[in-house]
Amino acid sequence: MEFSAQQIAAIIGGKVEGDPEAKVSGFGRIETATQGDIAFLANPKYEEYLYSTKASIVIINQDLQLEKKIEPALIRVPDPYSSFAALLSEYEKIKQQKLVGIQQPVFIHATAKLGENVFIGAFSYIGENVVIGDNVKIYPQVYLGNNVIVDRDSILFPGVKIYHNCIVGKSVCIHGGTVIGSDGFGFAPQLDGTFKKIPQIGNVVVEDYVEIGSNCSIDRSTIGSTIIKTGAKLDNLIQIAHNAEVGSNTVIAAQSGISGSTKIGKNVMIGGQAGLVGHLQIADGVKINAQSGVTKSIKAKNTAVTGTPAFEYTQALRSQILNRRLPELEKRIIELEKTISELQKEKQNE
């Protein structure tokens, strides 16, 4: 696929400076791009490469003042990073539109309902009463259990497994190896020391515009639904336990774990390897630092926490400073004790 600077500018709402008919067919970093690539400049530390890049087109900030003449055509926009991201998204959409049809071998139950322009890759399994919306792309080796719903424009990459009765909204992207709807970790301790499994009869609901990374596990609820709400973004290797809720537009970085029945508000940011115990309430806009262990509910909106157990961010920083000063403080205490002892002796000798 080849596009001109003028066509790209129309897509991202930019203004062309230079040759509007400059053509590109690929993407590249500004420091390593070659002829026929489009690149972008968002970080000022890379500005030097603007004058040496081999890219045919570069997206730059509308206010950037050039120090000297350059070869590539420019597209000026208010936010180069966001514009480049939008362009990549459009490029992916065009590629996905070409994926249509059913490869063989696959298993599709006779009761399954398929929308228009659907793609189903080889070795996939589509169970009873599955409903697949228009323009859904199902890559090879995907499993959809009975009564699963996948709404329009969603993408399931290779090896995704969605167990029975789970629901996936529209424009959802789920990457390879992720399991949606496996049993929640529910076991009742018995008098003899064994554990009896509690049947998990709920489901998982993934709402619209969610993206889930590779090798995540989202457990079905015991009763009701485990819910990933609209616009949430999950990184790779994340565990979401039964009956948990992840709020809209919340982002969670890799290797984090959310325990059962914890409810996370909207616009929350959770750093990598953070862990949240069960039955907590996390308010809207909370920021949880990487590797934090959250053991209590956070009810104040827009709070930032860190540490294990996690507590308020600025207090945690003060504590870290005090910890580093402990040897010095210990020395001063010893000196003060010595001074007090000497003063006491002088008073006794009076």
Q: Alpha-carbon torsion 217, 163, 202, 267, what sign?
A: positive
Which residue of the set 109, 164, 175, 242 is catalytic? 242
Note whether 265 and 324 are same-domain residues. no
Q: Alpha-carbon torsion 215, 271, 172, 297, what sign?
A: positive
Does 174 map to a domain? yes
Note whether 173 and 282 are same-domain residues. yes
Largest CA distance in the chain: 105
Structure confidence at residue 189 (pLDDT): 96
User: To the nearest 5 percent, what fractions of the chain are helix, strand and coil?
Assistant: 20, 30, 50
Q: Which residues of 285-319 are buried (b: 16+ CB within 10 A; e: fewer)?
A: bbbbbebbbbeeebeeeebbbbbeebbebeebeee
Structure confidence at residue 120 (pLDDT): 98
Does 69 map to a domain? yes
165 and 189 Cβ atoms separated by less than 8 Å:
no
Note whether 218 and 342 are same-domain residues. no
Structure confidence at residue 263 (pLDDT): 98
Note whether 177 and 263 are same-domain residues. yes
Note whether 327 and 253 are same-domain residues. no
Does 13 map to a domain? yes
Note whether 177 and 293 are same-domain residues. yes
Closest by Cα among 143, 176, 171 to 155? 171
Note whether 296 and 321 are same-domain residues. no
Domain of residue 54, CATH code:
3.40.1390.10
For residue 207, what are the domain limits? 160-309
Domain of residue 183, CATH code:
2.160.10.10
Does 143 map to a domain? no
Structure confidence at residue 317 (pLDDT): 78
Note whether 303 and 200 are same-domain residues. yes
CA distance 177 to 167: 18
Note whether 330 and 297 are same-domain residues. no
- From first to last of its 350 residues, the chain has per-residue pLDDT tens of 799 999 999 999 999 999 999 999 999 999 999 999 999 999 999 999 999 999 999 999 999 999 988 999 999 999 999 999 999 988 888 888 788 999 999 999 999 999 999 999 999 999 999 999 999 999 999 999 999 999 999 999 999 999 999 999 999 999 999 999 999 999 999 999 999 999 999 999 999 999 999 999 999 999 999 999 999 999 999 999 999 999 999 999 999 999 999 999 999 999 999 999 999 999 999 999 999 999 999 999 999 999 888 868 788 778 778 778 888 888 889 989 888 888 888 878 77
The β-bridge relationship of strands 73-77 and 15-17 is antiparallel
**Sequence letter at residue 236:** N
Note whether 288 and 322 are same-domain residues. no
Does 112 map to a domain? no
CA distance 67 to 146: 62
Note whether 55 and 194 are same-domain residues. no
Domain count along the chain? 3
Does 110 map to a domain? no
pTM: 0.82
Does 195 map to a domain? yes
The end-to-end CA distance of the chain, in Å, is 98
Q: Answer with the one of 61, 80, 97 that is the final residue of a domain.
A: 97
CA distance 270 to 294: 11
Structure confidence at residue 8 (pLDDT): 96
225 and 203 Cβ atoms separated by less than 8 Å:
yes
242 included as an active-site residue: yes
Note whether 305 and 322 are same-domain residues. no
Q: Answer with the one of 66, 97, 128 that is the final residue of a domain.
A: 97
Which H or E run contains 39? strand 37-40
